[in-house]
Amino acid sequence: MATLPTPQQLIASRPAFPKENWMDIKPDFKPGSFCYPAQKQTMELLHMPNPHEWNPADEDWNLPENWEQILIDAFEERLKKHRSLKLFMDICVRCGACADKCHFFLGTNDPKNMPVMRAELLRSLYRKDHTMLGKILGKKVGARGWDKDVVKELFSYAYQCTECRRCSLYCPYGIDTAEITAIVRELLHEVGLGIHWIMDPVKNCNITGNHLGIKPHSFVEIVEMLADDCEEVCGIRPKTPFNEKGHEILFITPSGDVFADPGVYTFMGYLMLFHELGLDYTLSTYASEGGNFGSFTTFNMAKKLNAKMYAEAERLGSKWILGGECGHMWRVINQYMDTYNGPAPAHMMDVPTSPITGTQFTNAKSTKMVHITEFTADLIKHNKLKLDPSRNDHLITTFHDSCNPARGMGLLDEPRAVLKAVCNNFVEMPEKTIREHTFCCGAGSGLNTEEIMELRMRSGMPRGNALRYVQQKYGVNHMACVCAIDRATLPPLANYWAPGVSVSGVHELVANALVMTGEKKRTMDLRQEDLPNVDGGDE
C-alpha cells in the first residue's frame, strides 16, 4: 500500500536548505504568471528586430540562430551608450536596502524579485564579459555566461517589475533598478521577445494615435457621447474642440480615459472643468494618446511615440500643453522628452501661464507641459472655482500616489490640495505607503493585462493591504488617483483586497463638486448614480 504524505510534506515546497545555487534554479512559466507574447505580425509592422512566433510556456522560444551574439553585442552597445548603466552594474555593494522595498517581492516572496537580485540577473552577465575577475573565476565571483534559460529568467523577472522606482528611493547609491529593467526589456526585444499588451498598443498608437487603434472620426464620436453624458448630469453640454488651430492650449491625456471605465468619468470631468472656465483649448486626434507604451519597450520607441506631442503643438500653433492624469506619460515628459524631442517648438510660450490666474508654471518652462492637478490646484488656490464638496459627502476618500507622478516628478501635494477642496472626507493611508514611498498598483509599465491577474493580485498586495487598513479603521470607501493605468488596475485590486472601495481620477470628483454657471440641479454624479446628499437623490 502506498504511503500518503503528511500535510507538512504536502506543503513543504522546498528542502530546508536549497541544494542549488540561485543561478541553477530555472524560471517556471505557469499560466497566470506570464504575459502573452507579442504577435509576429505586430513586431514586423513596427520593424522590431527578429520577429518570430513563440510562447513563454514552450520549451523552445524559437530564438534567432545567432541569439547569443546578438545579446552580447546589444548589451555592450548599451553599456557604451548609457554611462549610468555601466555605473549601476559596477557600483552595487549588495547592502540590501532595496531588497524588501519591492511590491513584487513583498507579494510573491520570490527572492529573485528583490531589486538587488533582479539586477544581479544582468549584473552576473556583465561580470562574465566585462570584468577581469569574472572572466577568470566565473561562477565563484557571481559571473555567468548567456544561455537560453538565462534569457527566460530575464524575461520572467523583467516583466515582474513595474519600473515604479520604489527601490531606487532607498538605494544609498541611487541605483535606478527601473532603468536596469528597461535595458533588459530592450535586450529581449533584440531577439524578438516582447509582450502582446505592450506591443499591440504601441502598434495602435503608431498607426492611429491611441492605444486601442480607434480611428479619428470614431474617437471624436466617443468623446461627443461623453459630452452628451455630461449634459445629462449637469444640463450643460461642454464643448469638444478637436484639431482646431490657433488655440492657446493643447490638451493631451491618455486615451484609456476615453474608452475605459472608470477613466471616462475623469475625462468628463476635464470637459466640464474646461467648459466652465471657457478655456481656450483644443483636443487632438493625432496626439490622442498621452500614455507612451513605447517607454515599456525601447528608448527609441518611446521617443517615436512621444514626438507627436510637440509635432501637434506646432501644427496647431498651441502655446503650451496641458496634460491629463497619467502615470508614465509624465515620467517620459519630465525625464526624457527634452532629450528625445526637445527643444519645444519655438513659437510656444516661454513659460506656460494659466490664462485664468496668471500663474507662471516655471517648473514646466522647458517642457511646456503642465499637469492638470497643478493647473486645478492653482485655480482653487485663487478661488476661481465654485465648489460644493458636500456632493462628495457619501465618499470617504483616500489618495493613491501613482508611482510616476510621485517619484518621477514629485507631484505630491497638488492632487491632495485638489481632493481636500472637493471632498470633505479625506484620509491618508499609512505613512510608509504614500507620497514618495507609495506602493505601486502592481500592474504599471504594461503589466495591466488580464492574463496575469493572479500575479497582479500578488504584486498589488502591499497597496491592497494599506487600503484595507484605512477601509477598516476609517471607513474609507473610495480611492482617487492620477493615473489612467491605476484607474484600470486599482478596481480589481480593491475588489480583491478591500472589496467595497471604488476608484476614480481626481477630476471626476472635481466635476462632481463643480458648481457650473447655469447648470441644472445636480441629482446625479458623473456615473449617473443618485447623489445621496442632495434633495431628489436617494436617502
Q: Which 465-494 positions form the footprint of another protein (CB under 8 A)?
A: 465-466, 468-469, 472, 478, 488, 491-492
Distances (CA, A) of 109 to 102, 157, 374, 403: 10, 13, 38, 21
Query: Judged by CB under 8 A, does residue 120 bind another protein?
Result: no
Which CB sits closer to another protein, 368 or 468? 468
Region near another protein per CB under 8 A, out of 41-49, 234-242, 255-263, 364-372: 255-263
Query: Judged by CB under 8 A, does residue 13 bind another protein?
Result: yes
Least distance from C-beta 330 to another protein, angstroms? 22
Number of Cα atoms under 13 Å in the Cβ half of residue 196: 14
Place of cell 463643480: 514
Q: Sign (positive/negative) of CA torsion 236, 242, 248, 253?
A: positive
Least distance from C-beta 458 to another protein, angstroms? 5
Residue 102 CB burial class (10 angstroms; 0-12, 13-18, ≥19): buried
Least distance from C-beta 317 to another protein, angstroms? 30
Least distance from C-beta 487 to another protein, angstroms? 9
> Could you count the other beta carbons within 10 Å of the beta carbon of residue 468?
19
Which CB sits closer to another protein, 218 or 390? 218
Distances (CA, A) of 114 to 109, 357, 464: 9, 47, 20
Q: Is the Cβ–Cβ distance between 284 and 219 less than 8 Å? A: no
Q: Is the Cβ–Cβ distance between 382 and 417 less than 8 Å? A: no
Region near another protein per CB under 8 A, out of 131-139, 177-185, 211-219, 334-342: 211-219
Show the CA angle centred on residue 452, arms to residues 447 and 453, nearest 5°.
Answer: 100
Q: Which residues pair with 360 in a beta bridge?
A: 353
Which CB sits closer to another protein, 212 or 409? 212
Query: Looking only at residues 423 through 462 of this chain, which bind another protein when binding is defined by CB under 8 A?
Result: 430, 432-433, 450-451, 453-454, 457-458, 461-462
Tell me the per-residue interface mask from 374 to 413 with another protein, x by CB under 8 A, - otherwise.
---------------------x------------------
According to CB under 8 A, which one of 66, 69, 109, 300 is a site residue for another protein? Answer: 109
- The end-to-end CA distance of the chain, in Å, is 67
Query: Looking only at residues 15 through 54 of this chain, which bind another protein when binding is defined by CB under 8 A?
Result: 16-18, 22, 28, 30, 33
262 upstream amide cis, omega within 30 of 0: yes
Query: Judged by CB under 8 A, does residue 106 bind another protein?
Result: yes
Least distance from C-beta 294 to another protein, angstroms? 20
Query: Judged by CB under 8 A, does residue 225 bind another protein?
Result: yes
According to CB under 8 A, which one of 212, 349, 356, 409 is a site residue for another protein? Answer: 212
Element containing residue 107 per DSSP (H, E): helix 103-108
